[in-house]
Structure 1
């Protein structure tokens, strides 16, 4: 047996024997591991959205927005990892961005609970813990009031229609006598087509395509050595990669800004808070 295999065997044996000494009732539980603290998610477009929320164009507007669905039409998924690359609740990201812009919204993404309660109220079995008074009559159930549901003026829907891997890649790599290193840069592009429709007339108010490039950089070094009949491969380095989902969130935040500022005829004073490239393209 090689010296390396013997050493590894001794260490494993010592670790196993050390775990066998305590009965189960005396073993102390491991302390939970806590990572980074939870934070609210921000995008580089959030300052511009918050600026919109404070503008007179938004504050005076009575327009009610609704988000229907942002579906995944890329048909791309990972078999070996986590399934689809595009998150299921992409529409929820757009709802959040519109909320930061301060506009009025009605929920059209998920109406399951609302429809359930309306059905139970129609059956007169849904209550609120106290009687309701309608035209002087006390009712032990929740009444259905005409006109209680708020309608929308503009509905937003669309799809993530583009997901191109390896939009750009490049780098260098070198090795000599089993010692090597290198760096690599890579990017992928995600895009969405978003529509805004007048819910009364079905007139198409806006139709825009948006895209976002997610980039990454990897720097690494490696050492390959043979010891006796064993091969040892040691790798060190760092990898910085922009998340695809965070890139989609940023893209939809830009879309929300464009939709609100265009449909409510904002004066453009908040454009200065957007990332520079957007202002240059939009201008």
Structure 2
């Protein structure tokens, strides 16, 4: 058990970090940091985002290790939250105080925990369901802070990152994953399939990052333009959209977090996980 637990925890953490890096390196993206530019962000660079992602490996490994083989409970919720808060602190130390991945720590941390509860054998449906169950527990030790996401959620009556998780990540299950699978099925390159998934998320998600920066007008503009880009299906349109989002200070950061979470879930399907790791898990369980 101990060896399998360590092996799986390392694997899940590596998959989580790689998912964050693959999301930021996906190029071009509208209003977001990528290989071409920093999008609508003055304080972010792709190198900073990479360093931030790598700094979270220990956090995700700790969440996986403590969750391995357990059931969802308020105690586990509080334990992984404490690890997540330590991860946030490490992230901020790495980035010089810039919030690069707070939303991703929440979303992917819950999914890492759910994957570990199932010892790597759960389906995507089981993982998101368990993650939602865990997210619905209250953390009695978490200090109440007025975050941008919380303020925006209350102001505009949208669910935000917390509600998305508590509902079992409906935008991943009903939007991002189906779009990704459909794009792959028609033979699109992986980068194009992921871009389509991102555009679909922007269309359907009431992204609190966009609302925080520009309110409902910016959100409506982003949704309309993302729909046109998805229909056009070419990179030049997305590059134009990137320029327009940047000019208008629009950054679909919530959609980017959900794309990274989608990539993670895709990697953690039992039939897609590394065969060598699966063999080691079977040998040591």
TM-score, with length taken from structure 1:
0.26
Which structure would you say has the larger RCO, counting Cα contacts within 8 Å and 6 or more residues apart?
2
